[in-house]
Amino acid sequence: MLPDKAPDEDVFCGSADLKRDAHVASFEKYKELYMKSIETPDEFWGDIAKDFFWKTKHSGQFLDYNFDVTKGKIFVKCMEGATTNICYNLLDRNVHDRKLGDRVAFFWEGNDPGDDLTVTYRELLQRVCQFANVLKSQGVKKGDRVSIYMPMVLELVVAMLACVRIGAVHSIVFAGFSAESLCERILDSDCSLLVTADGFYRGDKLINLKLLADEALQKCRDKGLLINRCIVLKHLSKEPEEILGSQSPPTKRSCPDLQVPWNPDVDLCWHALLRGASDECEPEWCESEDPLFILYTSGSTGKPKGVLHTVSGYMLYTATTFKLVFDHQPDDVYWCTADIGWITGHSYITYGPLANGATSVLFEGLPTFPNESRMWEIVDKYRVTKLYTAPTAIRLLMKFGSEPVKKYKRESLKILGTVGEPINPEAWQWYYNVVGDKRCPIVDTFWQTETGGHVLTPLPAATPLKPGSATFPFFGVVPAILNESGEELEGPSEGYLVFKQPWPGVMRTVYGNQPRFETIYFKKFPGYYVTGDGCRRDKDGYYWITGRIDDMLNVSGHLLSTAEVESALVEHKAVAEAAVVGRPHPVKGESLYCFVSLTNGVTFTCTLEAELKKQVREKIGAIATPDYIQNAPGLPKTRSGKIMRRLLRKIACNEHDLGDISTLADSSVVQQLFQNRCSTAV
Ligand code: WTA
């Protein structure tokens, strides 16, 4: 399945320097280990598991599973019988067994330059234990769900690991999501407590997070879920007595005047709770398949799916992918620019790096604030060696040319990574040539919230790179490409990307909805996990992701479902029907182009357009703000009434070559839609 020889066309290979100390130093070694991971997984993962602490060892085979819906319930079990605690493995093991207590776990860099903090492994352990005791004192028990809605502050890591320490299940909601989205997620996972913050700055913009959190809790109450505890971190608005004795001083741009609504019956001050909390907390020993966390990702029906990950498999998988894909070395300073509210931040800011005792940068701000050099300034400030970011950030920075990059040396950089969407060759070349000065291999990592960690990815010193290709499977992962009838295609081909067997980090279920889990991922092609992505395999065996093949959009690396945006639009009384499609965008990858049919008697005005944009922002969050809204008196439908999105995508791009339109019920609609196109969408 893997190629016998390296490809003969122009490819990029890791430098001799990198190969010298690399964990996997050649393509031959990769192939050898890959075969071992597939043929003798017990031995392969068993060796890796030896580095971790197990309260009790597992019995039986490493992975047990059923991927075939025709044979019964879908399940994956990894290391059954073992008990452990991830927080113990991430912190206590590094502090006590590996003697890394004084090593920096995180360099926190705030939104404003010069606003920074450092936390060592020992300090992080103390802070996590303290907060774990706080959670316990609030009655949080093993298995309880705790919702976390926080900006990119150290306390977010503290809160998540405190949950893990006591066996509670965290459900982190990205702080850019709306109150409505937060409410929906709290209700779905029936959380008993919310941890949030007063507010934060995104560039110059002040976000009053507590207001949104309050609104969400009120909505929950309206829907019958009474959450009566909300722990609030004062990130911007500490009182003088809270600063005294607080482990972190206020940020430079503190904002004592921030109006933080406070309900003494519900709200609890983070800082007050910590006072007097012991910094010792015995970890809760968890079974391998106990739930670890829930993270919501967009679903094509519009309702987000609560992806559930469990303890042992996720720990081993994120630790191993981090170590090998970024070729982690003890003197590295690693920086992942994602937000912890997304899976990339879960796996590759918190779990993978800490499991390896890595030193990371945790960045609160924006790549363009206060100027377009911010990222490179940070790279030089901390001497970052491994940088992991998104194609959309690269495209954004590319617009400003190479000068803001060249102002800084970046000589510490060794490996660059990307995630979230296919990277176009132009952005790849700019990242490689300008940012990496042609010295650093780029690991283009393909994976999903559901996969827990990288599944298709180069290894930086081993895999010859082709710009735009996520190259080959990681250890334990067996990809296949299927045609519409579910037949496996061999050799160069294009079709549905699926996986034939589980790896330790794959999701276990959709929280509270096993039937939905089975329907979405396993029903279409029994025996396979279906990614929802299209994929091409070239003559050299390289995999190239071609994008989503369901009704999902990828805006700035974030998945959104068209149905989710459509339902937000039709909730407006002026809208009778809505259809949303993706339109290629030079920075965001895709932008939202919305067609709305209005209710009788309503006219389409700029005010209405602005209202609809606001409505989507409020229902889902700023990431879902439509770029274009077009009045569509009629939508192109098949005779059976199905909206023909394919045509809408063409109209959004002003492409008149529509292909076969014989199934269209009323072809005059199309002409009208072309005439009504948004004038800004040239
Ligand atoms: C897309 C993000 C091409 C893909 C980790 C996938 C990619 C979805 C890549 C998952 C990549 C992610 N190349 N496409 N390197 N990485 N994707 O759940 O469509 O937020 O299904 O996880 O992002 O997005 P999610």
Q: Which of 61, 56, 59, 58 is nearest to 42 (CA)?
A: 61
| Ligand 1 pocket, residue 559 CB under 6 Å | yes
For atom 10 of ligand 1, the residue with the nearest CA is 448
Q: What is the C-alpha to C-alpha distance for residues 531 and 215, in angstroms, rounded to an integer? A: 35
- 599: Cα within 13 Å, side-chain hemisphere: 9
The SS3 of residue 269 is strand
C-alpha 419 to ligand 1 mean position (Å): 7
Q: For residues 309 and 546, which has the higher predicted lDDT (pLDDT)?
A: 309
Most confident range, picked from 74-88, 422-436, 592-606, 646-660: 74-88
Q: What is the C-alpha to C-alpha distance for residues 239 and 112, in angstroms, rounded to an integer? A: 21
Per-residue buried b or exposed e for 561-600, using 16+ beta carbons within 10 Å of the residue's own CB: bbbbbbbbbbebebbebbbbbbbebebbbbbbbbbbebee
For atom 14 of ligand 1, the residue with the nearest CA is 421
| Ligand 1 pocket, residue 528 CB under 6 Å | no
**Distance from chain centroid for Cα 199:** 22
User: Which DSSP state fits 622?
Assistant: G
Cβ distance 94 to 124 under 8 Å?
no
Residue 8 has pLDDT above 60, yes or no: no
* 378, two tokens: 């940070």
| Ligand 1 pocket, residue 628 CB under 6 Å | no
C-alpha 649 to ligand 1 mean position (Å): 21
Q: What is the pLDDT of residues 13-32, one digit of tens each?
A: 767 888 999 999 999 999 99
For atom 3 of ligand 1, the residue with the nearest CA is 422
Q: Do the first three CATH levels of 98-283 and 552-675 match, i.e. the same topology? A: no
Peptide bond into 460 cis (omega under 30): no
Summarize the confidence of residues 197-211 as an average pLDDT. 96
- Of 45-49, 334-338, 670-674, the one with minimum mean pLDDT is 670-674
| Ligand 1 pocket, residue 445 CB under 6 Å | yes
Q: What is the C-alpha to C-alpha distance for residues 595 and 576, in angstroms, rounded to an integer? A: 11
- By DSSP bridging, strand 488-489 and strand 509-510 are unpaired
Summarize the confidence of residues 427-432 as an average pLDDT. 95
C-alpha 539 to ligand 1 mean position (Å): 23
C-alpha 345 to ligand 1 mean position (Å): 13
Cβ distance 41 to 474 under 8 Å?
no
Q: What is the pLDDT of residues 515-573, one digit of tens each?
A: 999 999 999 999 999 999 999 999 999 999 988 888 888 999 888 888 889 989 999 99
Q: For residues 562 and 242, which has the higher predicted lDDT (pLDDT)?
A: 562
How high is the mean pLDDT of the chain?
Answer: 94
Phi-psi region of 543 (alpha: psi -120 to 50; beta: other; left: phi over 0): beta
For a substitution probing ligand 1, which of 172, 307, 533 has the most ligand atoms within 8 Å of its CB? 533
Summarize the confidence of residues 140-166 as an average pLDDT. 98
| Ligand 1 pocket, residue 318 CB under 6 Å | no
Residue 9 has pLDDT above 60, yes or no: no
- State which amino acid sits at residue 467: P
For a substitution probing ligand 1, which of 305, 546, 553, 554 has the most ligand atoms within 8 Å of its CB? 554
pLDDT for 536 equals 95
| Ligand 1 pocket, residue 447 CB under 6 Å | yes
C-alpha 208 to ligand 1 mean position (Å): 30
pLDDT for 659 equals 83
pLDDT for 644 equals 86
HEC string of 447-487?
Answer: CCHHHCCCCECCCCCCCCECCCCCECECCCCCEEEECCCCC
If pLDDT is split at 50, 70 and 90, which confidence band does 244 have?
low
| Ligand 1 pocket, residue 561 CB under 6 Å | no
If pLDDT is split at 50, 70 and 90, which confidence band does 660 have?
confident
- Please identify, by atom number, the ligand 1 atom nearest to the C-alpha of residue 297: 18
Strand partners, 497: 481
Cβ distance 377 to 366 under 8 Å?
no
| Ligand 1 pocket, residue 548 CB under 6 Å | yes
* 476, two tokens: 């334990």
- 224: Cα within 13 Å, side-chain hemisphere: 2
C-alpha 473 to ligand 1 mean position (Å): 15
| Ligand 1 pocket, residue 470 CB under 6 Å | yes
| Ligand 1 pocket, residue 419 CB under 6 Å | yes
pLDDT for 604 equals 94
How many helices (DSSP H) and strands (DSSP E) are in the chain?
Answer: 22, 31
pLDDT for 245 equals 63
- Please identify, by atom number, the ligand 1 atom nearest to the C-alpha of residue 449: 18
Neighbours of 341 (CB within 10 A): 22
- Of 179-193, 348-362, 455-469, 546-560, the one with minimum mean pLDDT is 546-560
- Of 255-269, 583-597, 654-668, the one with minimum mean pLDDT is 654-668
Q: What is the C-alpha to C-alpha distance for residues 526 and 484, in angstroms, rounded to an integer? A: 13
For atom 22 of ligand 1, the residue with the nearest CA is 448
For atom 12 of ligand 1, the residue with the nearest CA is 420
* 220, two tokens: 């929950």
Residue 121 has pLDDT above 90, yes or no: yes
Residue 641 has pLDDT above 90, yes or no: no
- Please identify, by atom number, the ligand 1 atom nearest to the C-alpha of residue 545: 3
Q: Which of 245, 582, 318, 547 is nearest to 420 (CA)?
A: 547
Q: What is the CATH number of domain 98-283?
A: 3.40.50.12780
| Ligand 1 pocket, residue 619 CB under 6 Å | no
- Of 188-192, 377-381, 422-426, 593-597, the one with minimum mean pLDDT is 422-426
Q: What is the C-alpha to C-alpha distance for residues 348 and 346, in angstroms, rounded to an integer? A: 6
pLDDT for 506 equals 98
Residue 1 has pLDDT above 70, yes or no: no
If pLDDT is split at 50, 70 and 90, which confidence band does 253 have?
confident
pLDDT for 552 equals 83
| Ligand 1 pocket, residue 560 CB under 6 Å | no
CATH 3.30.300.30 assigned to domain 552-675? The reply is yes
| Ligand 1 pocket, residue 236 CB under 6 Å | no
- Of 343-357, 515-529, 667-681, the one with minimum mean pLDDT is 667-681
| Ligand 1 pocket, residue 533 CB under 6 Å | yes
| Ligand 1 pocket, residue 321 CB under 6 Å | no
| Ligand 1 pocket, residue 343 CB under 6 Å | yes
Q: Which of 490, 479, 426 is nearest to 448 (CA)?
A: 479
Q: What is the C-alpha to C-alpha distance for residues 279 and 107, in angstroms, rounded to an integer? A: 22
User: Rounded to 5 degrees, what are φ and ψ at 206?
Assistant: -90, 125
Cβ distance 108 to 131 under 8 Å?
no
C-alpha 554 to ligand 1 mean position (Å): 8
Per-residue buried b or exposed e for 535-558, using 16+ beta carbons within 10 Å of the residue's own CB: bbbbebebbbbebbebbbbbbbbb
- Of 63-67, 526-530, 665-669, the one with minimum mean pLDDT is 665-669
Domain ranges of the chain: 98-283, 552-675
For atom 24 of ligand 1, the residue with the nearest CA is 448
Summarize the confidence of residues 218-224 as an average pLDDT. 96
For atom 25 of ligand 1, the residue with the nearest CA is 448
| Ligand 1 pocket, residue 427 CB under 6 Å | no
For atom 23 of ligand 1, the residue with the nearest CA is 420
What angle in degrees, to the nearest 10, is found between the helix axes of 606-619 and 562-570?
Answer: 120
Q: For residues 664 and 460, which has the higher predicted lDDT (pLDDT)?
A: 460
Interior angle at CA 457, CA 310 and CA 533, nearest 5: 75
Q: Which of 366, 376, 472, 361 is nearest to 431 (CA)?
A: 376
- State which amino acid sits at residue 313: G
Residue 73 has pLDDT above 80, yes or no: yes
Summarize the confidence of residues 264-280 as an average pLDDT. 95
Q: What is the pLDDT of residues 159-178, one digit of tens each?
A: 999 999 999 999 999 999 99
Neighbours of 286 (CB within 10 A): 25
For a substitution probing ligand 1, which of 446, 463, 556 has the most ligand atoms within 8 Å of its CB? 446
| Ligand 1 pocket, residue 344 CB under 6 Å | yes
DSSP state string for 363-389: E-S-TTSSSTTHHHHHHHHHT-SEEEE
Strand spans (E) along 324-434: 333-336, 359-363, 386-389, 415-419
The SS3 of residue 117 is strand
| Ligand 1 pocket, residue 590 CB under 6 Å | no
Q: Which of 365, 324, 305 is nearest to 153 (CA)?
A: 365
